[in-house]
Amino acid sequence: MSQAAALVDHLRRRGQTIAIAESCTGGLVAAALTEIPGASAVFGYGLVTYSNEAKQRLLGVEEAVLRQHGAVSEATAQAMARGLLQRYGADLALAVTGIAGPEGGTAEKPVGLVYIAVGARSGIRVERCRFDGGRQAVRRRTVERALALAAALLEP
């Protein structure tokens, strides 16, 4: 069973829902979940918040957070997940932001740097990841890790 199928099944058995906010993956996490039959029972919202403006308008990420920490940061990923929980009423929130490349990286924030936030009402966990490879590899590995983290949060 794929990670996406396992996550959908786990959420369905618990009667819970998930909302997703994606930046660098551009909707790939949502696509992975919606490939699974029955995902509509658990998947309510999938937002591609690629720009800072979208992060602010759709998720309530404060301009000060973006200005101080940048779009690719633990603080922004956490704010994205918090916005999902507060605005869209999901039981589980999953947010990703990063630099897929091939451009856009710096010495401080290199290509392949990704922050994944997974949260529920009880709290939000953010993981800093660094993936090697080209743009597609970074995006694919981000999706895989995000789904794994979401599934791990649901484990008893």
Q: What is the pLDDT of residue 55?
A: 98
Name the residue range of residue 114's domain: 3-154
Q: How many domains does the chain have?
A: 1
Q: pTM value?
A: 0.96
For the chain, the straight-line distance linking the first and the last C-alpha, in angstroms and rounded, comes to 19
- pLDDT at residue 71 is higher than 70: yes
- pLDDT at residue 156 is higher than 90: no
Q: What is the CATH number of the domain that holds 91?
A: 3.90.950.20
Q: How far apart are CA 63 and CA 43, in angstroms?
A: 28
Mean pLDDT in residue range 6-22: 96
Q: How far apart are CA 146 and CA 134, in angstroms?
A: 18
H and E: helices and strands count for the chain: 6, 5
The answer to whether 108 touches 34, Cβ cutoff 8 Å, is no
Q: How far apart are CA 17 and CA 126, in angstroms?
A: 19
